[in-house]
Chains A and B, each alone.
Chain A
Amino acid sequence: MKTRLLFLCTFLMLCCIQLNAQKVYTKNGSVSFFSTSSMENISASNNQLMSVLNVPSGELQFSLLIKGFHFKKSLMETHFNENYLESDKYPKATFKGKINNITIVNFTKDGTYNVEVSGDLMMHGATNKVTTAGTITVKAGVITATANFKVKLSNYKISIPKIVKDNIAETVDVKISCLYDQKM
């Protein structure tokens, strides 16, 4: 009887420890975007993405600073901040959503799991629903999430002047990658 009680207590304690580590986060995730057009290709990256993943529920959120994007050409960076994303007025972009099929991910077993993410992407003062495919990779207990999706600039009230219309794609490819190295 005592042995059973001890086993039950140990089990409950382990459950409590597990519950405490149900949320993982990073303050240095990566996001990059690519614009491909007939005139030129434009890319920029930002390694200051803050993201929290609620492991059992699949709830996921991102936040990033627009001024954290850096370009190879400084004039592009200036135009991006001042004319297109208006980063003084709208300093952040956020995503709040959920991994719809989180139950397929076995967080105790190494592997790469294909998931579907949906939620609200807020940028430049506009919010739109986004649904995309992504992956969750579990390796030695560390979780990495990646997703690629497309963003149509006009959906976020980002207007491109006619003079550079051929230089910038109407829809840009966005890549996100987060290695969740912190636990709560």
Chain B
Amino acid sequence: MAGKTTKTILILILLIAVIAVSIGYYMYNKGPGNVKNSSSIKINAAELYRSFITDAAVALKTYAGKIVEVKGRVAGTSINQQKEKIVLLSTAADGGNINCTMEEDPGNLQTNDEVVIKGICSGINQGDGELGIKADVYLTRSFIIK
């Protein structure tokens, strides 16, 4: 009787250990989250840019590392060295854009097209005041939603 109980306890401990190791392994190797289907902060391009210009510290806390859905007009497109498409959204600051690195091909976008792009906000990088280069607010792992 006592032997049977010990055996049951040992099996239970082993089972718990296997489950714990499996969960740990899964968590450790878990890939990036699904940006497309995650909840997001909805904002327009001009407002997002203005938030970073007005108070970068507050904007960083609010948006950086978070998934945002940004509505705006296409200012231009390009391709980076990794052959990923870059879509720039206009803001009120001439030359200062929402710079979106696309996860999927956004298709044939034209300047001034209205789009909604969902991606992870990295924050605002620096420009060069002396050269008149405005800073951009960056989005990565971006998708066109509309």
A-side residues, CB < 8 A to B, are: 23, 25, 27-30, 45, 47-48, 50, 52, 61, 63-65, 67-68, 70-75, 77, 81, 87-88, 91-92, 94, 177, 179, 181, 184
Interface residue from B101, B123, B128, B131 paired with A67 (Cβ < 8 Å): B123
What 0/1 readout, one digit per residue, does chain B (85-127) give for beta carbons within 8 Å of chain A?
Answer: 0100000000000010100000000000000000011111111
B80 to chain A, nearest CB (A): 5
Interface residue from A52, A68, A73 paired with B31 (Cβ < 8 Å): A73
Chain A residues, CB < 8 A from B33:
74
Chain A residues, CB < 8 A from B125:
27, 48, 50, 63-65, 92
Is B81 an interface position by the 8 A CB rule?
Answer: yes
Interface residue from A52, A75, A92 paired with B131 (Cβ < 8 Å): A52
Interface residue from B29, B82, B86 paired with A73 (Cβ < 8 Å): B29
B125 to chain A, nearest CB (A): 5
Contact B127 A30 (CB under 8 A): no
Which residues of B from 49 to 97 have beta carbons under 8 Å from A? 60-61, 64-65, 78, 80-82, 84, 86
Instruction: Select the stretch in B1-9, B15-23, B135-143 that faces chain A.
Output: B135-143
- Measured CB to CB, the nearest residue on chain A to B28 is A75
B-side residues, CB < 8 A to A, are: 27-33, 60-61, 64-65, 78, 80-82, 84, 86, 99, 101, 120-128, 131-133, 135-136, 138, 140-141
A179 to chain B, nearest CB (A): 6
A49 to chain B, nearest CB (A): 8
Known A-B contacts A47-B82, A72-B31; the reply to A88 vs B126 at CB < 8 A is no
A85 to chain B, nearest CB (A): 12
Contact B126 A63 (CB under 8 A): yes
Known A-B contacts A68-B138, A70-B141, A91-B123; the reply to A30 vs B32 at CB < 8 A is no
Contact A50 B101 (CB under 8 A): no
Contact A48 B140 (CB under 8 A): yes
Cα–Cα, bound, A15→B126 (Å): 30
B58 to chain A, nearest CB (A): 12
